[in-house]
């Protein structure tokens, strides 16, 4: 059905990149594989679509972990030059190199986050503000976050 639909609409399916996912609490080992033009596509627990990792339970934990890794690595490289950057340049660099990861597809995953993932995003934002304002690690960040909005 999928193959005939895509063929009739002049669409090509890249079977090497095609994945299937079953949403909910389904044991994917019991799910029958999907066959497209004699190629078997098995179900996965996590799929990547347009740069967003989507899990079976739609909580985007895998995507949040990737955002955290990318953001912390970008911040680490920015901290190496912290002493020569003024606050406005720090903010511009952080927005383009750090927050861009968290802002990508945030309207998609934002409403689905659990408390743990929300806290991870909040920690990235805290590090972002600390970097821009050159605040020590132990200083309370809440009033500064309100300034930034």
Chain segment 16-66, per-residue pLDDT in tens: 888 888 888 888 777 887 888 788 887 888 999 889 999 888 899 999 999
SS3 47: strand
Write down the pTM of the prediction: 0.78
Pick the residue with more confidence: 32 or 111?
A: 111
pLDDT of 115 reads 94
pLDDT of 73 reads 94
Best CA proximity match to 43, nearest among 22, 60, 15: 22
Per-residue tokens: 91: 């903010």
Nearest-angstrom CA–CA distance, 130 and 137: 7
Q: What is the mean pLDDT of residues 85-101?
A: 90
Other CB atoms within a 10 A radius of the CB of residue 99 amount to 17
């Amino acid at each position: 059905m999928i193959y005939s639909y895509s063929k009739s609409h002049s669409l090509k399916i890249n079977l090497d990149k095609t994945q299937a996912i079953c949403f909910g609490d389904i044991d994917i080992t019991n799910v029958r594989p999907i066959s497209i033009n004699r190629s078997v596509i098995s179900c996965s627990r996590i799929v990547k679509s347009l740069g967003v990792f989507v899990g079976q339970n739609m909580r985007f934990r895998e995507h949040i972990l990737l955002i955290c890794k990318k953001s912390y690595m970008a911040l680490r490289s920015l901290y190496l030059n912290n002493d020569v950057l003024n606050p406005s340049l720090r903010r511009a660099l952080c927005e383009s190199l750090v927050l861009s990861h968290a802002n990508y597809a945030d309207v998609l995953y934002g409403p689905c986050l659990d408390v743990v993932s929300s806290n991870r995003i909040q920690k990235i934002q805290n590090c972002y503000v600390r970097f821009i304002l050159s605040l020590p690690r132990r200083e309370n960040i809440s009033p500064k976050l309100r300034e930034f909005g």
